[in-house]
Each structure stands twice: as C-alpha cells, then as structure tokens.
Structure 1
C-alpha cells in the first residue's frame, strides 16, 4: 500500500475514530498518534499501546502495509486497533495479568513452601494466563467496534475484514490470543448488518 494511500486513510479515518472514542469513552485520551514502525525485520503487525506521555499510539509495521490490498483493509485494521483503545483492552489485559500473577504466586507460595524462584516462575506463568484470559473476547469486541468506525468513515468493513482470509487462521486454541478467522468475519458481518 503506497504511503500516499496510507496518509489518505489516516486523514479520513482518524477524526471518526477520535469522535467514536470521545462518545464511548469520554474519560480516555482520544488524540490518537498513528505511526509506521519502520524497524527492519519486523513481521506484519499492527498494535495499540501508549507512548511515553500516555497518548494512545496505533502502530503499523512496514510489512503489514505491504500486505494490505486496499484502503478498506487498511481502514479496518486501523479501526480495529483504535477500538482496542476505546474499549480499554490494554488496561483490562494488564489487570488480568496482575490478578493471574497474584493468584499463581499465592498458590506456589502455599504449595511450594515459599521458594522465591518457584513463586516468581508461578507469577510469570499466572501473568501470562491472566493476560490471555479474555484476549479472544477483546479481539471480537475490537472487530465489532472497528467495523462500526470503518463504516462511519465511509469504508467497507466487510471488504476490509477480508484481510483475515489471507492470514494464518489461529484456530480455536486454548491459550490462543485470537479467535478463528471465520468467527471474526461473522462478527464483522453481524455488526455491519446492524448498522
């Protein structure tokens, strides 16, 4: 996807994403910073985080930009990442990780006799389990809200979600972070049908 097309999608979609953010989560900082991660060797990916000042950051790797086939796909991916922020998924994931670490740490402390190394390992495992505990639900929530944002910005969310059909299907693994691609397509179709 050419740089000019990326800029055009961002300019058209960002104001809509920020408007949806302010309407749905007025307590959040809705001033998105959208960047391209141009570090060499990065795999195709898009992600949501916060910058050093706490501003919501939506990042796309160069490899991902090379894989999207049209503006609708890029708009859908951008909307999906904005939706993660709007829905508070990063904070919820961090809370789930902290709970998991605490529970596993307490179990290891009680069962393992307080061995510091065992407790630390259990806390790390617990944090991983906790962080993943609702990740599939978070992805489906972001797909639904992302579809709404993309459609409101004038993009075709169903066409955009076709991107899922070209990436490896994660299936329905117990500790997987993403739901099956077919389930994601279904939620996008249902959301668009309800608009």
Structure 2
C-alpha cells in the first residue's frame, strides 16, 4: 500500500469513527436523560381516528384575522381573566406539591401572537393573543396554559435537563475523543485540543437534547392542566378549544414561534387531547386526578 492509499484509508476510518461516536453519544444521551423527571399529568392517549377528525376540523377552520384593539382595554381584559383564573390555578399548583404558586402577570403591547412563562413567576401575554382571539375563553386558555407551565415547574425542569445533558454529553464525547486519538500519531497538544473540542461539542449536543427531551410532554401536561384551570375559573373548556385550531391555521404555537415537531405536539393531536381531557373532567365531575 502506497502512502496516498494509506492516507485515504486512514481518512475514511477517522470519519467512520466520528460517525460511530456521534451515534453512540446520541444513543447514550437518550438513555441517560430518560432517567430525568417526566410530566405525569397527561390526558389519556387519543386514537388515530380522533386525531384525523381533529386534523379535518383544523383544515376547515378559516385563517385567523387580526383585530384592532385599544391597549388599555386589552390590558384590563387580560388582568380580569388572570384574576378570575388565579385562585383555582394556585390551588392546583399547591395540590401538585409546588411551593411557588404566586405569579406576576405582565401585559405587552407587542402585536405578535405570543405568550410565555419565564423566570420563577413571570407570565407575559402579548397583545396579539387578544387581537386574534374571538372569545374570552380563548384568551383564558392561553393564560391558563402559561400558568400551568409554572404550576408544573417546567422552567426549572428544562434548565436541569439542559445542564444534565451538557454534563453527560461533555463527558461522553470527551471520553470518545480520547479513545479516538489514542495511538493515532497525535502529540499531546493535538490530543488535548481534540479531546476538548469533542467535549465541547458533546456538551452542546447534550444541552439541546436535554432541553428538548421532554418539551412535548411538558406542552401536553400544560394543556392538560390548563383545562382544569379553566374549569376552576368558571370557564367552559369546550369553548376554548377553537384557539388550538386557530393557532394551527396560523402555523404558530401559543409561545409565538413557528410550529415545530421538536418542541410541540402535532396540532391535531393537541386538539384531540384537549377534547379527551374535557371528557375526563366531565366523567370525574371536574375533580383533578
């Protein structure tokens, strides 16, 4: 074998080794992160027929239209709905064993259809939520969903998952980098640099996997809890369901981002699960299980 052929073969082996390392890392990360806490308050699984029916309903829903609103009236509306929902949401939060069940509502006049939970207690509702809503129940559903993220401690869970993923990924890729460079003709400086690069890459990949690992389940849990929060606030969850179809037609999530299957469940599944949760509530007389 001449030197050129040898170098080509070595180059192919290195790339094959890197591919195997990436696959091994992803597999191990998935297994290890599976030990993290997962949401437990979820609706019963929905059938394919129910999802197909919800999808057909979404396709038949007209695209949402923005309405002009006065900021003072919009903010007053948001705060009135929040105040009506808060007692029931707080009781549900305590019932789930959380300690921090007091939240700070903030209204934003940003016209984007967006709402989010942040920090330890902040809930932000932007003007666009009201501009696209056709009923008080639709607005209440979005607010209840963000309350549910706090009540279920999702923000802290996501941060912990990202940190765990970064740690596990860094350790795994660092170890794989050390194995790949051992006996490969690298001097100590090159070997150290490659191990460091591998560890940093693994940490980045691990953080992303850790952060997204349960995001769909967290959204499902927030949806599930939101239905109970609505009911406790005296709203009819059946009238709020239209917001899911509206968001789906807009190609957006309630968090203002374009819908992604990496972070949010399928829109038709969300609508079907919402209906399943409402049926459960009716069967148990609205008692939270």
The alignment's TM-score, normalised by the length of structure 2, stands at 0.59
Match of residue 17, structure 1, among 89, 96, 120: 89
* Structure 1 residues 24-39: aligned runs within 5 Å: 24-25=96-97, 27-38=98-109
* Structure 1 residues 39-188: aligned runs within 5 Å: 43-50=112-119, 54=120, 56-113=121-178, 115-167=195-247, 168=251, 173=261, 176-188=262-274
Q: Secondary structure at the match of 1:31?
A: coil
Retained in 1: the 8 A contact 2:75–2:107? Answer: no
Retained in 2: the 8 A contact 1:35–1:57? Answer: yes
Q: Which structure 2 segments of 5+ residues have no match?
A: 1-68, 179-193, 253-257, 282-289
The Cα shift of 1:68 comes to: 2.1
C-alpha distance in 2 between matches for 1:136 and 1:119:
27
Retained in 2: the 8 A contact 1:73–1:159? Answer: yes
Q: Secondary structure at the match of 1:66?
A: helix
State the aligned residue count. Answer: 186
2:279 is aligned with 1:193 = yes
C-alpha distance in 1 between matches for 2:279 and 2:204:
42
- CA radius of gyration, larger in: 2
For residues 37-72 of structure 1, the C-alpha deviation after alignment (integer angstroms, 9 at most, x for no partner) is: 34x5x742211122xxx4x11111222332222110
Retained in 2: the 8 A contact 1:28–1:86? Answer: no
CA RMSD of aligned residues (A): 2.1
Q: Which structure 1 segments of 5+ residues have no match?
A: none
The alignment's TM-score, normalised by the length of structure 1, stands at 0.85
Higher RCO (C-alpha 8 Å, min separation 6): 2
- Which has the larger displacement, 10-19 or 134-143? 10-19
The Cα shift of 1:172 comes to: 7.7
